[in-house]
Amino acid sequence: MLEIALINGPNLALLGRREPEIYGDETLAGIVSRLSAEAEGLGVRLSAFQSDVEGELVRAVGEAGERGGGLIINPGAYSHGSIAILDALNAFPGPVIEVHISNVHRREPFRRRLVTAMGADAVISGAGPMGYSLALSLAVNLLRR
């Protein structure tokens, strides 16, 4: 069975409470639950991980790469400057989809620089929490090609 790893970075555990006018009111647990059901419907398994610590995210990308499959990642604020996460994404053997809940291009100028996106096959930004569903569909499609 194909596996899609879902990795979320700093402050994403606060979804539903953190700036709901920007990020919506769906919690990370709700997103993971919804995405797990969607993955099952697509015949794939979803594994989920969240950390506020850069090194733990790097390790999680590496471990997901060893299992094969695809990767959906929202690096949060690390997307704007983490070379370590970029390097891990560049080493990932399957498709990588980067997700940002808000439209980073309509926000502060520093948010428009997405260093980690250079390691992604696609970036979904501004679709709200549904961006994760779009990323799942795309990752599965890329894996089945």
Number of H helices, E strands in the chain: 5, 5
Round to whole Å and give the CA distance between 33 and 17.
18
3-class SS string, 4-59: EEEEECCCHHHCCCCCHHHHCCCCHHHHHHHHHHHHHHHCEEEEEEECCCHHHHHH
Q: Which residues are catalytic?
A: 23, 100
Largest Cα separation within the chain, whole Å, is 41
